[in-house]
Structure formats: structure tokens, C-alpha cells
Amino acid sequence: MEYAHLGRTGLKVSRLCLGTMNFGPETSEADAFRIMDAALDHGINFFDTANVYGWKIGEGVTESIIGRWFAQGGGRREKVVLATKVYGEMGKWPNQSRLSAAHIRQACEDSLRRLQTDHIELYQMHHVDRGTPWEEIWQAMEVLVQQGKIVYVGSSNFAGWHIAQANEIARSRHFLGLVSEQSKYNLLTRHVELEVLPACERYGVGVIPWSPLAGGVLALSGRLGGATQSRRTGEFTRAARELHAERLERYGALCRELGEEPADVAIAWLLTRPAVCSPIIGPRTLEQLTTSLRALEIKLSPETLSALDSIFPGMKTAPEEYAW
């Protein structure tokens, strides 16, 4: 396994991050345990979750599964760089969502209880909260750091200017600020190249791409799962394949020339991108976890990278993308 620093920090994380969103709704607890054990066996030390995963309001289903896995001992908790998130709705009362200091405090306590741990390495804001001032957010995060309940703070789904604003205000408070950003980023969805990636590079923020396969579209696989969520995913995948049919056909031909699986090439490409430290893989099965490891071994040549850009054009840094 290869490791990279998480942004400008000294913390080292595996070049693949284990996403756990399927644990509970799609993957049984027993299978989730096997996947997490195998991830450690392969050197994956970076696990990502969220308090809303499991999609039962207020229950924290996925965090609870991870907590019971930690409770087995065997050094599991000590080996894991644990990332979870705050923002989503955890109840129907007014202050049970978003990023007020009150909700951040309560959400962190609840996540710690479910995860059966006394600290979280990376506490991420799942979305930007335009209704809460940064001074309030940072004050709440500073208290959690001082209490030893969290170590670093990250963001997810932020715009470039949000990252700049957040870190400038953190700087004025002599606080470390954001060290990571989780963004939707893949060959088909390259909008973050406009302003998010440049902001992350400037501020030393590590990028953690989610949906690296564009919801399975870039895997070019006919396999679709069961259950309600997978049916929705299947409908999205079919529509996206029809929309991008010509490009996907060219992509498949390129992958055949390389002798590699399209899913592995898509993740290998992300690993070449500036500021990216760990793309998130979200396996439903143990087989999906182990096959994803091939991406770490693929080294894409400049010619291949150029070919990928011709199939899936990227974006220049703003303002050159749209102005002189």
C-alpha cells in the first residue's frame, strides 16, 4: 500500500480510502466486518463514514456498525484513520442538523458514542452551511480539538471560495482550519478543476474524491445491485450511459488497449491529479474491495493521460476557462 500526507498535515493516509456508505443498507454487518478486516490486511488505514449513513434519521446505522467492529479489539481502532461527517438531519427538531455550534457539539458526542471511540481523526462538514457564521463554526471545532475529541477538520462539497474563506478566518484565529475536501470528482465530472482544486493546492487541502466511477458509469459494467437504492442507481447509470455513449465507447476501447479494467483506470487517473490524496472506494462486497487494489499498480503514461483528456475534456483553472 502507498501512503500520502493528508493535505498539509503530517498525517499519512492510504492512497485508497474505504467508503462505508453501503454498510447497512446494501452490505450486511457480517460482510462489512469482513471488508474492514480485509482493508486493514491490505494496508488501507483510511476509513470514511458519516452520521447520516444508513439513511434512518437519527440512528447512525453505519457508524454503529463500525463501532461494533472496533469493539472487537485486536488493534482495529488504533490502525484506522477515522473520518466521519456532521451536517445532515439527525432529527426533526430545529437544531438537529447543519453547523450551529450546538449541533456540532451534540453530533460529535453522538458519533463518538456510536463509533465506540474517544476521538475522531478527521471531522468533516458534509456540506457548507450558509446560515452559520464561520466564527461560530470554528469556535465549536476549536473546543472539540482542545477536548481531544477530534484531531483535524475537513469539508465536503465546498466551493473554492468557501475553502478560501474558511481557511482565512481560521488563520485569523490561529487555528489550523480545513485540511481536506471531499468533492465529487471523476473523468465525467471535472468541475472541481475550475476553482476547487486550485484553492486546495493553494491552502494545502487534501482532496478526497467521492464517486470516482461516476456512480458505476465508468466501470462499464452491466452489473447492478439489488434493493431500492441500487434500482435508483441503476436508472441513473443507464441514463448516463446513453448520454455519454460515444465517449464511453472510446474509453472502453482505450482500456482494452491498455489491458486494464475501466474502473481501475478511472481510479488510477484520479491518483495522478493535483492535490488528490485518497479516492474513496465504496465496496458492497469483499470482491469489489480486492479488485479495486489493482488501481494502485497502474501507472498511466503521458500519452494515455492525453488520450483520456481527449475523451473526457477537463477544465482550465478559472478565469482562463472562460476568459483570456
Structural domain contains residue 254: no
Residue by residue, DSSP assigns 99-145 as T-HHHHHHHHHHHHHHHT-S-EEEEEESS--TTS-HHHHHHHHHHHH
pLDDT given for residue 157 in this prediction? 98
Catalytic residues: 53
Whether the CB-CB separation of 2 and 44 falls below 8 Å is answered with no
The DSSP element (H or E) to which 4 belongs, if any, is strand 3-5
Residue by residue, DSSP assigns 221-256 as ------HHHHHHHHHHHHHHHHHTHHHHHHHHHHHH
Structural domain contains residue 236: no
Residue with more model confidence, 264 or 230? 264
**Model pTM score:** 0.95
178: helix, coil or strand?
A: strand
Sheet of 206-210: strand order equals 206-210, 178-184, 150-156, 120-125, 81-86, 46-48, 17-19, 280-281
Rounded to 5, what percent of the chain is helix, strand, coil? 45, 15, 40
Task: Flag the least confident range among 21-30, 87-96, 216-225.
Answer: 216-225
Structural domain contains residue 232: no
- Main-chain dihedrals φ then ψ at residue 119, nearest 5 degrees: -155, 160
Query: Residues, the chain, total?
Result: 324
Phi-psi category of 7—alpha, beta or left, where left has phi over 0 and alpha has psi -120 to 50? left
- The pLDDT tens digits of the residues spanning 15-43 come to 999 999 999 999 999 999 999 999 999 99
| pLDDT above 80 for 308 | yes
62: helix, coil or strand?
A: helix
| pLDDT above 80 for 140 | yes
- The pLDDT tens digits of the residues spanning 92-135 come to 999 999 999 999 999 999 999 999 999 999 999 999 999 999 99
Contacts of 272 (CB under 8 A, 6+ apart): 300, 305
pLDDT given for residue 231 in this prediction? 57
| pLDDT above 90 for 235 | no
Task: Look at the block and give the residue holding cell 478560501.
Answer: 164
Confidence band of 237 (pLDDT split at 50, 70, 90):
confident
Task: Look at the block and give the residue holding cell 482544486.
Answer: 197
How many domains does the structure of the chain reveal?
1
Structural domain contains residue 290: yes
Percent over 90 (pLDDT), the chain: 93
pLDDT given for residue 229 in this prediction? 45
Question: Do you find a cis peptide bond into 279, omega within 30 degrees of 0?
Answer: no
Residue type, 14: S
Structural domain contains residue 231: no
C-alpha cell at 125: 462538514
Confidence band of 225 (pLDDT split at 50, 70, 90):
very low
Structural domain contains residue 233: no
Residue 170: give its domain's CATH number: 3.20.20.100
| pLDDT above 50 for 283 | yes
Range(s) of the domain holding residue 179: 3-216+261-311
pLDDT given for residue 226 in this prediction? 36
pLDDT given for residue 238 in this prediction? 84
Residue 18's DSSP bridge partners are 47, 281
pLDDT given for residue 25 in this prediction? 96
Task: Look at the block and give the residue holding cell 466486518.
Answer: 33
Confidence band of 232 (pLDDT split at 50, 70, 90):
low
Structural domain contains residue 194: yes
Task: Flag the least confident range among 50-64, 131-145, 219-233.
Answer: 219-233
pLDDT given for residue 221 in this prediction? 72
Percent over 70 (pLDDT), the chain: 96
Structural domain contains residue 224: no
Query: What is the rounded average pLDDT for all residues in the chain?
Result: 95
pLDDT given for residue 228 in this prediction? 39
The C-alpha angle with vertex 21 and arms to 120 and 70, in degrees rounded to 5, equals 45
- The pLDDT tens digits of the residues spanning 171-212 come to 999 999 999 999 999 999 999 999 999 999 999 999 999 999
**Residue 35 C-beta-side C-alpha neighbours within 13 Å:** 30
pLDDT given for residue 223 in this prediction? 41
pLDDT given for residue 141 in this prediction? 99
